[in-house]
Amino acid sequence: MQSFRTELENPIVEKDIIDLEKKIRLFREGNIHDEKFRSLRLARGVYGQRQPGVQMVRIKLPFGKVTFKQLLRIADVSDEYASGNLHLTTRQDIQIHYVSLDRTPQLWEDLERDDITLREACGNTVRNVTSSPDSGINPNEVFDVSPYAHAFFSYFLRNPICQEMGRKIKFSFSSDERDTAYSYIHDLGFIPKINEQGERGFKVMIAGGLGAQPFLAAPIFDFLHEDQIIPYAESLLRVFDRYGERTNRNKARLKYLVQKLGLDEVLRLVEEERIANKSKSFKIDRNTVPAPKLPEAITLPVLDEVIHSLDYKHWRATNAVPQKQEGFFGVYIKVSKGDIKTELARELVNAIRPFAADEIRITQNQGLLLKFVREDALPSLYAALKPLGFAVPGFDSIADVTTCPGTDTCNLGISNSMTLSVALEEVIYEEYPELIYDKDLKIKISGCMNSCGQHGLAHIGFHGSSVKANGKVVPAVQVLLGGGTVGNGEGRVAERVIKAPSKRATDILRTLLNDYAGVAEEKESFHSYYDRQGKDYFYQLLKPLADLTNLKDEEYVDWGHEETFATAIGVGECAGVVIDLVATLLLEGFEKLEWAEASYEAGAWSDAIYHSYAVFVSSAKAMLLDKGVSSSTQIGVIREFDINYVENGEFTLPGTFNEVVLQINKNEPTEEFATAYLGQVRDFIAQIKTKKAL
């Protein structure tokens, strides 16, 4: 690989991209440990794909906002570096696939020309901050949460406190009490409120999550003032960084830390950490997300044939909603499987440009929301969308199935989810067309138990699995029922009911819908119906479809495939040679000391302090590994270093290692403390270099 140089005007971004190219070269040469390189790569949005030698690149779009120009830029990048397809995610990102690792720095530079980043789209970082897509136009919202979501994105991007946590952290902002951003499954979820004094604030939910073991978030504030939400989140991240699990990734989420220590103890630690915060109060700039430029009012033809068609009436009733801005509509576009071919994306921009504002929002169910469409433009917009396949009615109904990529590209996928989603949608449109108006029932599919398709919060959920029959492996789905959003921070986790061959999922759906129509009481919700009948009722109802004694030949073949099913795990990257992990960690510590020095010179006292803290921990971890001692948390590393190095006199410190390092949460981030703390970490590194003869 040749040395890489960018032509960007932003020196911070430029340094990031050059650093990625440098790390790729070192990895190719075998000079960076595989696990360390994976962490660095993921934090730059580059994710190993199921297919060997290629990457999925995740593009981080705060709260799902993308302009026409940005969408066209992403389409161009996908054509140049990827497979010519855009995949919309449940976290309001866009993913592109089949990218060469060596080309990712140039890809990133091309995106940044239109202010699009990959930074921290994956990895052990703060992931994309999501919000209700209708924020800003929702008639029921007490205020627009978009500037708050943007503030979180900006504040925590490249923030030292959340670059190398044990696992990811997810934040969400719902626009109203319907909680359409699902606060109850987030590490921190926010629902807007106004107090008696007319001040803005949020109901705050903590430690929710899906995955293989879902947890519902707990409410910790009925009202937290808007100026305190970022300081509180900062303190929480500091606690998670220090106390969170780092060895067993299955337990390395905030929800498990709360389970381990107890909610009260975690909240106590958060309060203890607040003294170290960069910001004790943080005023959100409400003007950072201005309203988009409105489309011009133009004279439009009267399309009587469209207006009086049944298809248009269905589409308008299910996909167009009045905005709080009088005379304007938000228009939702249903995107099958969340996939848009790049050429279709360009045609879409051309089709909507005359009728909608220059702001598209990606939705949590993998669709799109257009804003500020004038009422008289709705027929013309429909006519423009229909030839592209983007005027399908039933947005966010039971006919709008959410799905992850599954075995198409994901390393962890067990069985197909995307083709199955299309098959289930066809059942609704062809056999239950009246249900395109039912927005109270949701179907969600994941290719494995990890819930990227959010099956854990579905009324009817499926996740990929397998069963054995007649000496063969059969693609299967685990059926989950009864999950979903209740509102104002309350939600339900779907219960596992039964496992059945994947090819029977369509019959499972028919059975459930027929029973619901025939057995449910008048106007009874699916949740009430499920609770009244009970889990065993549904097990018995679906049991005949789980019978493996009558399998047909086609049931050994997964959806969208022709070959006989076999479970498989994709191959990741490897460094070619095994290197000294202790040396790697020490070099990492030395590099972080340079970051601390640079932050100190820039007068960024809080950043200098946290980088210094990271030097203490990573260097101590290296020295412990040198003795064969490991610990799964940062706080454990701190304690073990005292036991193995300080108490026996191998290291001389002005107190215990615990006392020296944890000065960080007992002092304000002042210049005086930054100076003293940086001096102590310099002395610590000097002792390591002497001991290791470096």
For residue 113, the tally of other CB atoms under 10 A from its CB is: 12
Q: DSSP secondary structure string, 232-253?
A: HHHHHHHHHHHHS-SS-GGG-S
The yes-or-no verdict on residue 651 having pLDDT over 50 is yes
Do domains 130-276 and 581-692 share one topology? The answer is no
Q: 179 φ, ψ to 5°?
A: 60, 50
State how far Cα 479 lies from the chain centre.
24
CA distance 19 to 590: 16
Rounded to whole angstroms, the Cα distance separating 371 from 132 reads 13
Residues 6+ apart with CB under 8 A from 35: none
DSSP state of 12: H
Res 35 pLDDT > 80: no
**Closest Cα to residue 321, out of 330, 308, 312?**
330
For position 572, what pLDDT does the model report?
Answer: 32
* pLDDT at res. 264: 98
Helix axes 526-533, 505-519, angle to 10 degrees: 90
| DSSP 8-state class, residue 332 | E
* Phi, psi values for residue 378, rounded to 5°: -60, -45
pLDDT (0 to 100) of residue 571: 35
Other Cβ atoms closer than 10 A to 345:
21
**What's the Rg (C-alpha) of the chain?**
26
Whether pLDDT at 401 is above 80: yes
How far is residue 435 from each of residues 181, 213, 316, measured CA to CA in Å? 23, 31, 15
pLDDT tens string 286-334 = 999 999 989 999 999 999 999 999 999 999 999 999 999 999 999 999 9
Q: Which two tokens stand for residue 657?
A: 């290692």
Residues 609 and 674 sit within 8 Å (Cβ to Cβ): yes
Helix, strand, coil content of the chain in percent (nearest 5):
45, 15, 40
Q: Which amino acid makes up residue 118?
A: L
pLDDT of residue 376: 95
Q: What integer pLDDT is reported at residue 570 of this predicted model?
A: 42
User: Mean pLDDT across the stretch 104-132?
Assistant: 95
CB 414 within 8 A of CB 448: yes
Q: What is the chain's mean pLDDT, rounded?
A: 92
What the block records as the tokens of 264 is: 């009260």
Class of domain 402-556: alpha beta
Dump pLDDT digits (tens) for 545-596: 999 999 999 999 988 887 776 665 443 332 223 335 787 788 888 989 999 9
- Average confidence (pLDDT) over 76-95: 96
CA distance 570 to 410: 8
Note the pLDDT tens digit of each residue in 334-346.
999 999 999 999 9
The CATH number of 304-388, from 3.30.1280.10, 3.90.480.20, 3.40.50.2300, 3.40.30.10, is: 3.90.480.20
Residues 6+ apart with CB under 8 A from 562: none
Give DSSP secondary structure letters for 263-293.
HHHHHHHHHHHGGG-S-SS----TTSSPPPP
Task: Give percent of the chain with pLDDT exceeding 90.
Answer: 81
Q: How many whole angstroms separate alpha carbon 677 and alpha carbon 368? A: 49
120-172 pLDDT, tens digit each: 999 899 999 999 999 999 999 999 999 999 999 999 999 999 999 999 999 99
Domain 581-692 CATH class label: mainly alpha
Q: What CATH class is the domain 11-112?
A: alpha beta
Q: What are φ and ψ of residue 43, in 5° steps? A: -65, -10
CB distance 192 to 200 below 8 Å: yes
452 within 8 A of 462, measured Cβ to Cβ: no
Q: What is the pLDDT of residue 250?
A: 85
In degrees, to the nearest 5, what angle opens at C-alpha 181 toward C-alphas 261 and 220? 35
| Mean pLDDT for the stretch of residues 460-485 | 93
Q: What is the pLDDT of residue 567?
A: 62
What residues contact residue 22 under an 8 Å CB cut-off, 6+ apart? 4
Q: State how far the alpha carbon of 171 is from the alpha carbons of 205, 208, 522, 554, in Å.
A: 10, 10, 38, 42
Q: What is the mean pLDDT of residues 227-255?
A: 95
The mean-pLDDT minimum among 28-32, 55-59, 334-338, 661-665 falls in 28-32
**CA dihedral in degrees (655, 656, 660, 662; nearest 10)?**
-140
Q: What Cα–Cα distance (Å) separates residue 306 from each residue in 314, 379, 381?
A: 12, 6, 11
CATH 3.30.413.10 for the 130-276 domain, yes or no: yes
Least confident residue range of 261-265, 280-284, 416-420: 416-420
Pick from 48-52, 254-258, 299-303: least confident: 48-52
Domain residue ranges in the chain: 11-112, 130-276, 304-388, 402-556, 581-692
CB atoms within 10 A of CB 205: 29
And the tokens for 266?
Answer: 């975690």
Is the predicted pLDDT of residue 692 greater than 90, yes or no? no
Does the structure show a pLDDT above 80 at 234?
Answer: yes
